């Protein structure tokens, strides 16, 4: 995240910080988030990272269930802005009517999308199916947040031999007050997959930036 982007976003999207963050986003807030995504003015509302397997996993020839996952952690407005940016890239503009009630919910939205299978020499890398997703404090691992809701979305890819590789994506919602209450420090996004954990980090600076756009009294 860039500080200049944070200042610009807070000044141009004030409606997203009060009081709408404490409740489901209405159409006006959704429209503002879509505009932020289409103009790429949403860095302060999202944190991105790539969840990868542990060290030394996936070495040698053969098939390895070690593909990474692209992770986006966002406020509701940030999730919508991110989706709007992706839609614009594909020349398929996101409309207010297409934004569901689930996408508008207050909370911390975590999106984990499996990267497509890849190969290198005699090694082939595929995603391992996600079973669950949690947030875990990096320095104090006893602090673990379970999602309030989580949905798994099936995904599949065709390989060069005509076969099909199956996996999934995950969308989870965490309570903002619980995320805010975690001790200061970095937090890991932990994807528990059939083949082991895949992790990436929400840094302390990103945590602070995300919370700056949310009132301290916000609740579900």
Mean pLDDT of 37-42: 91
Query: Which of these ranges, 55-64, 104-113, 160-169, has the smallest mean pLDDT?
Result: 55-64
> Is residue 187 scored above 60 in pLDDT?
yes
Round to whole Å and give the CA distance between 44 and 7: 8
Round to whole Å and give the CA distance between 120 and 180: 41
Mean pLDDT of 198-216: 85
**pLDDT per position as a tens digit, 11-39:** 334 344 443 345 789 999 999 999 999 99
Mean pLDDT of 155-173: 88
**pLDDT per position as a tens digit, 56-68:** 776 778 889 999 9
DSSP category for residue 211:
H
* Beta-ladder partners of 130: 193
pTM reported for the whole predicted model: 0.85
Q: What is the pLDDT of residue 3?
A: 38
Going through the chain in order, the beta strands assigned E by DSSP cover 46-51, 62-64, 69-74, 108-114, 118-120, 123-125, 130-137, 144-145, 149-158, 164-174, 187-193, 196-202
């Amino acid at each position: 995240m860039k500080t200049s982007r944070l200042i610009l976003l807070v000044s141009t999207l004030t409606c997203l910080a009060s009081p709408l963050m404490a409740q489901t986003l209405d159409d006006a807030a959704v429209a503002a988030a879509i505009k932020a995504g289409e103009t790429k003015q949403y860095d302060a509302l999202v944190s991105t990272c790539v969840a990868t397997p542990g060290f030394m996993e996936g070495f040698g020839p053969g098939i390895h269930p070690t593909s990474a996952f692209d992770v986006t952690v966002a406020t509701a407005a940030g999730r919508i802005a991110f989706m709007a940016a992706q839609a614009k890239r594909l020349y398929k503009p996101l409309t207010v009517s297409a934004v569901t009630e689930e996408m508008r919910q207050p909370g911390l939205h975590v999106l984990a999308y499996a990267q497509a299978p890849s190969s290198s020499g005699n090694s082939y890398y595929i995603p391992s199916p996600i079973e669950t997703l949690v947030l875990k404090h990096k320095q104090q691992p006893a602090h673990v947040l379970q999602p309030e809701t989580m949905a798994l979305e099936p995904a599949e890819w065709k390989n060069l031999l005509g076969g099909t590789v199956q996996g999934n994506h995950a969308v989870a919602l965490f309570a903002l007050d619980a995320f805010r209450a975690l001790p200061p420090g970095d937090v890991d996004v932990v994807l528990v997959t059939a083949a082991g954990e895949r992790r990436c980090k929400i840094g302390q600076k990103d945590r602070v930036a995300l919370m700056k756009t949310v009132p301290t009294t916000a609740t579900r």
